[in-house]
Amino acid sequence: MARMLYIICAYIVENMPINSANKNANNGMNRMNAPAEEEPTMGGRRKTRSNKRKGGKSRKMGKGASSWNKKVMEIYRELKKKNPSVKLGAAMKEASKRKKAGKL
């Protein structure tokens, strides 16, 4: 496990980008006599555009509301007509009571 961690850390350090200011400082050059460079980018890497999605998964279509959700929303609308400040949780409790009583 320690060997694997050492290999990973060595790889990261080896491939770590060095920004342009550090490159010039390491070479003993200052900005005045340094050769002309391209515009600096974040992290010293070129930006590339890709049309691929990063996750690699495609979007899945929703299945729509279940029969239970439809019934809860029906009850919610009924309660909302009577009392506009009612919450969805109250409709769920009412739907559960009706289902247990066999009225739903």
Three-class SS state of 99: helix
Inter-residue contact 22 to 34 (CB < 8 Å):
no
Structure tokens at 49: 């555009």
pLDDT tens for residues 31-76?
555 555 555 556 666 666 666 656 667 777 888 999 999 999 999 9
Residue ranges per domain, the chain? 2-33, 67-101
Q: How many CB atoms lie within 10 A of CB 78?
A: 12
* Model confidence, pTM: 0.42
Structure tokens at 4: 């694997």
Reference 87, options 98, 96, 99, 75; nearest CA is 75
pLDDT tens for residues 6-39?
777 777 777 777 665 555 555 555 555 555 555 5
